[in-house]
Amino acid sequence: MKQKILTVENLCFSFNKDKQILNNINFSIEQGSLCIIAGANGSGKSVLLKCIKGLLKPKEGLIKINNIDVSKDINERRKKIGLVFQDADSQIVGQTVEKDILFGLENIKIEKCEKIERLNKVSKLLSLEEKLKTKPRELSGGEKRRLAIAGILAMDPNIIFLDEPFANLDYPGVVKVIKTLLLLQKEGHTIIIVSHEIDKIAAHSQKIILLKNGRVLKEGNSEEMLPHLRENGVYVPTVNNEIANIEELSWLNR
């Protein structure tokens, strides 16, 4: 049995006392897995990521990484959890691809040689080594998304969160991002994706957690979760009015 890398217990969050956004959220995720957090718009998906990451402060609840309680240690959570936002442009600040990847490393006290080593590793891993001197605005949508991932990956987090990673991407861009995520998982990273476009990645995930009205409605493997997703406002493709089987959902086979 694999070790649980992330455990969330009784997590609650509200912007004010009259509007509860998250209600007693409980789940755990295994080391090295790819997990999807799904749900209709307004179900609390993005707020949940921000609470776990440390960008929002939960009202109550526990957050554990490798069975260590880090609920009150925001710096530890921010160090061990990388978050790639839906809008890749908002996360890109460097004048070139190279400078953007190195940006987050500038405030970390590591040797210059290690910075270069990390730059070379992530740029090769994400197929950006030929783009290092390119200005980010000249990149395609898929390349910008990979650059945002590279900047996070260079910080060497234990867990990578991605908020709607397929938003506004064309077919080649979606396929490249899927391949990138599977490669990162193969390298040992734990990937957690928030998305309502589960048809793009469900075939490759080990767990889907379904949120509804700020609660975990159900969780399980992708195949058993497909009917529940469709019943709760998440798009699932159909074939002859029947829910597509999990193998048919893979965008890598099209």
pLDDT at residue 107 tops 90: no
Residues 220-251 have pLDDT tens digits of 998 899 888 888 888 887 777 777 777 777 77
How wide is the angle at C-alpha 165 spanned by C-alphas 2 and 115, nearest 5°?
75
What percentage of residues in the chain have a pLDDT greater than 70? 98
pLDDT at residue 254 tops 70: no
Residues 161-205 have pLDDT tens digits of 999 998 888 888 888 889 999 999 998 999 999 988 888 899 999
Q: Is 67 exposed, middle or buried (0-12, 13-18, 19+ CB in 10 A)?
A: exposed
Mean of per-residue pLDDT scores for the chain? 90
pTM: 0.90
Domains and CATH numbers, the chain: 4-88+157-253 (3.40.50.300)
